[in-house]
Amino acid sequence: MTVPKEMPEKWARAGAPPSWSRKKPSWGTEEERRARANDREYNEKFQYASNCIKTSKYNILTFLPVNLFEQFQEVANTYFLFLLILQLIPQISSLSWFTTIVPLVLVLTITAVKDATDDYFRHKSDNQVNNRQSQVLINGILQQEQWMNVCVGDIIKLENNQFVAADLLLLSSSEPHGLCYIETAELDGETNMKVRQAIPVTSELGDISKLAKFDGEVICEPPNNKLDKFSGTLYWKENKFPLSNQNMLLRGCVLRNTEWCFGLVIFAGPDTKLMQNSGRTKFKRTSIDRLMNTLVLWIFGFLVCMGVILAIGNAIWEHEVGTRFQVYLPWDEAVDSAFFSGFLSFWSYIIILNTVVPISLYVSVEVIRLGHSYFINWDKKMFCMKKRTPAEARTTTLNEELGQVEYIFSDKTGTLTQNIMVFNKCSINGRSYGDVFDVLGHKAELGERPEPVDFSFNPLADKKFLFWDPTLLEAVKMGDPHTHEFFRLLSLCHTVMSEEKSEGELYYKAQSPDEGALVTAARNFGFVFRSRTPKTITVHEMGTAITYQLLAILDFNNIRKRMSVIVRNPEGKIRLYCKGADTILLDRLHHSTQELLNTTTDHLNEYAGEGLRTLVLAYKDLDEEYYEEWAGRRLQASLAQDSRDDRLASVYEEVESDMMLLGATAIEDKLQQGVPETIALLTLANIKIWVLTGDKQETAVNIGYSCKMLTDDMTEVFIVTGHTVLEVREELRKAREKMMDSSRAVGNGFTYQEKLSSSRLSSVLEAVAGEYALVINGHSLAHALEADMELEFLETACACKAVICCRVTPLQKAQVVELVKKYKKAVTLAIGDGANDVSMIKTAHIGVGISGQEGIQAVLASDYSFSQFKFLQRLLLVHGRWSYLRMCKFLCYFFYKNFAFTMVHFWFGFFCGFSAQTVYDQYFITLYNIVYTSLPVLAMGVFDQDVPEQRSMEYPKLYEPGQLNLLFNKREFFICIAQGIYTSVLMFFIPYGVFAEATRDDGTQLADYQSFAVTVATSLVIVVSVQIGLDTGYWTAINHFFIWGSLAVYFAILFAMHSNGLFDMFPNQFRFVGNAQNTLAQPTVWLTIVLTTVVCIMPVVAFRFLRLNLKPDLSDTVRYTQLVRKKQKAQHRCMRRVGRTGSRRSGYAFSHQEGFGELIMSGKNMRLSSLALSSFTTRSSSSWIESLRRKKSDSASSPSGGADKPLKG
């Protein structure tokens, strides 16, 4: 091995990494990080990033060009800039440049001000952080330095309650054994304290003089975003020492309950894990956004077609007619032919007709979405009083998508349940404890139970802990050895930290609610975990303090699904204690425990059948010689440079075998309030709910019954548990066969064979008679998600009313969501509360985070957040449905009013020699979309309702039009366009026909260009105002003010522009003095306006009247029912709760996170019946949604996109 000159020879003897290559981050990918303590000159060779962070995007010089460049990345802004450039060319522009530049500048300015404000606060935050003070050891002296000046390799002193300045290797602390406590809320959202520890060789470096002489070098992984992983080695004093995440203090953490500590800077600034995790979240767009992009392209194509038609007309007119009037109407100097005149006319009409897609459309959409977001934030009915947590819309771009959700993917623990664990039952040496029986031997229900067990004998007992079976306490008091060993295991085998604020007042800080519940149970039954050091655990056993030597902690992770401790008791006996999931632990027991195993398994089935979370407990005695030999191999594995985790797992696997069974625990995780009602309501809205959980199959199934996903009325619940691809495929095939066998005669005049031949496979499956549910295990799901089987799984699952996936990994959760997104044209929503739900939340169209017991990582990754699952029904059925309704009505009206406005120019072209002359005054063109018609449509888009919120919840079927995308689609778009074109035809030709023969009061001719323009413009404003009045379903004072106020503003501006005052100030701009007053003083003009309005509006009124009477939709029916109810004062039916009979075999769960074992050791059912929801009046219209859904289902492609195919038997 070649030893570099900079590396001391003694390190070569200790063993150096095989590669000394170093790549500078500035010009290549960093392969490894090297940092030498107290040697800035050496570390500067690698050109590592400084500790200065920059989250801002602009400075004073770059703001304007960079921001404008970013804004013109938007196609719409570029399009309007292009139009502005065209308007600056005098040969083709018949409009003044300000008709485009005013709205464009307004939009750009509003966006720029918003961006500048955001960046100002980013600058302010950056400066505040970069200028924080830190104590840095420089030349043997502690000096105050700003954070931005801290470098890799510096040694920093931190004091209590200070933020960690960079990613540090903990060297020493004021606490014994180099321990220190940190809070990681800024990193992972968890507020419970965590413990970190220095390696023993540096834990004694608490003195400044010793630290100044410290010259160790760390070689570790390059910068990355893995918060829970760190692998490195410290080379010092001819030795090398393994480093892990438990030795690291990450930037963003806060030092707690520790007077001081010293750390070596490993990663600084943008290289820190906090900054590495600050990447941008994937931008989500709604289906309406995607549709709008398509429609805008179509409109642009339509605009080009109109321009071509009018340009051809201009060329023909100039060739046939215009040449005869060259004396009076000469061509411009640049125009030398009729063809070139037509070419210029094309661009002129592109400018004039561009208002079919005004820039104000995009601004209005964002304003409406912002208003909807505030409504969610302000909703008091989604505010949790207990946690003082409001609902929060963390994005403003997805609100209308909330009204189109078809699939919900939900976590179970902490989302459907409370994630507050209660020790409920246990099995010890074959005997079950926890049930209470009456004098007749019947199991007592909760309300019939006597007083809870009295723990007054134990002064250290937790007064909040309740247990109902006195026989367990009697067994403890009688000294039963199995019971004592059971609770001894619970008091020793954990990573809980204990804090004693005063004598006898213990506070446990557990990394999971399960672990806290188990240690608290042991505490109350006389085995009180009191304190711990890196090498000892002190337990008060029945009042006697006993200190165990802690030899090793074999920590929990998601693969092992168990944790163990190895301790030496005061008598010198070494014993391993283990707790873990039954699927893992039962295979590692000694064969002599078979009889006890059978009894305990029965108890586990019973507990899991009640929806309880179970763990199995076991122990093993070790002799001294075997332990010493095993500990040596464990040390070698921990020092490995590669595959360290795999080698440690192999060593752990060896010792955790042939264990003796002690018993099992059962913990209750209660459902959240309102979960059954919410799921029942969402199911009635035709929303399919899939539960993706890490819990055991039977536990999840039982929760499914409890929360009303599964019912006894279901035709069948399919369980898929195959361990091979063939087994899973066969189980899925059988499930599909059973569903179709029961649907041989579907009804409605169709037989099964007819359906199979007339629609695709997935459509047939989704139309089966009866209700089915699918439950699939994680190992089976892994096969089902393979490319050659994913379609079979999806077809089967989508035919079921409910799907439960058990024992799934975070990656599998995301894969299931992605599968549905890929093949089903449906909006998906994922909801969860923990870090394991983040991938699922980010994958779904909409992500919802529950602010629960597992920190706020899910909330930080989500689009919407609240504190309880029951608020989901209000988010979707009220806010989501309203947002979708409002946005659809807004878009329909917006396109209508702009086509009605713009197409008048097209018809006028045939009467003005295709000269690109405008009908309206140029100021009217400028103000039409930003003043005259902007506020009424905004008010409708923000405030409109079809039915009140109570009815939205009472009639969940109202949600289905959004799922079917009925309110705004290509068909609705063309209807709006047709209405707009129809209105424009009448708007132009009725005044044109009247003015051809009309005269004024004095007998003079009424027709002139300006009078015609005023009449058409006034008719347009009145017609679109009446139309929005018809479209508005919920009138507020704001609607009234905006509609009538806009009309008043129109007339005020109209009269002002034709007044003497403006003419005196701007004689070249406002020449037509008194035109408006004279025109609108004529009765003929007003009759024309009234006639135009009536003819434009009456067909709409007639159509809606007929539809309301002949084919009303569901919202019309609900409104009618509401009126009837008000008259009759009918009372609502109440919801009834009905208990479920029969039992369901449930299962075993192990909810935990990777613990702190390495650190500490390093030195360190009731099911509810269907809701009795109020029914609505049954009318012939009630089937319209179902027929549309069938039509959509029949026309949709199967997920595979293949041709019709029969099921293979």
The residues annotated as belonging to the active site are 411
Element (H, E) at 158: strand 155-159
- Asked if 733 contacts 793 with a C-beta cutoff of 8 angstroms, the reply is no
Residue 379 CB neighbours (<10 A) = 19
Dist. CA 633–CA 640, nearest whole Å: 11
- Angle 918-921-925 from CA coordinates, rounded to 5°: 85
Burial of 378 (0-12, 13-18, 19+ CB in 10 A): exposed
Dist. CA 454–CA 641, nearest whole Å: 54
- Angle 242-496-186 from CA coordinates, rounded to 5°: 70
Dihedral, CA of residue 290, residue 294, residue 299 and residue 304, to nearest 10: 140
Backbone angles phi, psi at 741, to 5 degrees: -65, -35
Q: Which residue has tokens 């089987």? A: 789
Dihedral, CA of residue 196, residue 199, residue 204 and residue 207, to nearest 10: -70
Dist. CA 171–CA 212, nearest whole Å: 12
- Structure tokens that stand for 312 in this block: 């051809």
- Pairing state of beta strands 827-832 and 716-720? unpaired
Q: Enumerate the H helices of 440-512 as residue ranges.
A: 470-477, 481-492
What contacts 769, CB < 8 A, 6 or more positions away? Answer: 742, 743, 746, 747
Q: Which residues of 760-781 are buried (b: 16+ CB within 10 A; e: fewer)?
A: bbbbbbbbbeebbbbbbbbbbb
Residue 1010 CB neighbours (<10 A) = 15
Q: Which residue has tokens 């339509």? A: 302
Q: Which residues of 1026-1065 are buried (b: 16+ CB within 10 A; e: fewer)?
A: bbbbebbbeeeebbeebbeebbebbeebbeebbeeeebee
Q: Three-state SS for 252?
A: coil
- Type of residue found at 643: S
Backbone angles phi, psi at 721, to 5 degrees: -130, 15
Q: Three-state SS for 875?
A: helix
What would the DSSP string read from start to end of 206-247?
-SHHHHHH---EEEEPPS---TT---EEEEETTEEEEE-GGG
Q: Three-state SS for 620?
A: strand
Backbone angles phi, psi at 338, to 5 degrees: -65, -35
From the centroid of its chain, how far is CA 272?
25
- Asked if 525 contacts 454 with a C-beta cutoff of 8 angstroms, the reply is no
- Angle 1174-1178-1179 from CA coordinates, rounded to 5°: 145
- Asked if 1119 contacts 1034 with a C-beta cutoff of 8 angstroms, the reply is no
CA distances to 103, 195, 806, 1010, 1067 from 1070, rounded to whole Å, are 21, 77, 75, 12, 6
- Angle 787-790-793 from CA coordinates, rounded to 5°: 160
